[in-house]
Amino acid sequence: MSNNINATVLKNFIIKSIGGDKLTEKNAKGYDIKQDKFSEADVDDNGDLNLDEILNDKDLYAQFATLYVEEKEQKADAKDAEKEKEEQTKVKDKSEAGV
């Protein structure tokens, strides 16, 4: 699944999600990234992960890809629910008009 997501698309998602192009150790906890995994991915040992470090680490890539897919599915579900609501309203309006 995660291998099917284009790196550029994922990079844009990560920037949007973390609010920039660096992920700090403090913010990493919010994405359930463990300290040892963060340290392992922090190739330049500067205390934060840049986009390339995230994308080059297969576990972090997969983790953010999963988040991307989940967000995409939630948006699709919300859109489907809204469409269903609109259809129900149309049916209700038609039945009331016929009365």
Identify how many contiguous H helices and E strands the chain contains and give both numbers: 5, 2
Instruction: Output phi, psi for 49, to 5 deg.
Output: -110, 125
The candidate with the shortest Cα–Cα distance to 41, out of 21, 67, 61, is: 61
Collapsing DSSP states into helix, strand and coil, what is residue 42? coil
Query: d(Cα 57, Cα 37) in Å, to the nearest integer?
Result: 9
Q: Are 60 and 43 in contact (CB under 8 A)?
A: no
User: Per residue in 18-69, pLDDT tens?
Assistant: 999 899 998 999 999 999 999 999 999 898 999 999 999 999 999 999 999 9
Global pTM exceeds 0.85: no
